[in-house]
Homo-oligomer: A and B are copies of this chain.
């Protein structure tokens, strides 16, 4: 029952602010039935979940390297890195380091977590942490209070297409590689779509 163990997903090292499955995390206004409808829209399937879980070890080993590559893309674009700036107009390295640990854990979670109520609630929490509702709150930081929605979505190809080079190291067949890329692309889109909830005007999400 390897999967069941994974799904419970207790991580050995506690990450500050990683409130997955805790009452301190937000509650998603989306019902599980509505989540299934959204998954169907995305084309997310049990096969996709299996493909990602199958590569759990790979994601665990490379999650930090992936995040570093995405952070490099952010760091090279002033309009992206500015959302890490504190009141002194400089990048808040302490905040960035705290967020990074959760970002790395997110990669692992994408590969192993079941899409249950705890997972759904934590996506709402992550979304809120990109908006004035909760950005900075978790880490007691004073960076600019939002990441604009257009950058949240605009960054997706870096995290999907840009991650192909990591997947290539797995030495998969073309068909298996495609399945992994597609599963990852659908998963990332599903997550970011859930994160967009607090950005939307009432009734439009």
Contacts and interface: CB of A to CB of B under 8 A. Distances in A.
A63 interface: no
Given A151-B41, A199-B201, A157 B186 contact: yes
A192 B193 CA distance: 12
Residue among A80, A157, A182 with the most chain B CB within 10 A?
A157
Residue among A42, A162, A185 with the most chain B CB within 10 A?
A42
A41 B204 contact: no
A5 to B, nearest CB: 29
B43 A162 contact: yes
Contacts of A79: 34, 37, 40-41
Specify how many copies of this chain sit in the oligomer: 2
A141 interface: no
Contacts of A156: 42, 189
Nearest to A30: B150
A40 B149 CA distance: 15
A137 to B, nearest CB: 16
Contacts of A204: 131-132, 146, 148-149, 199
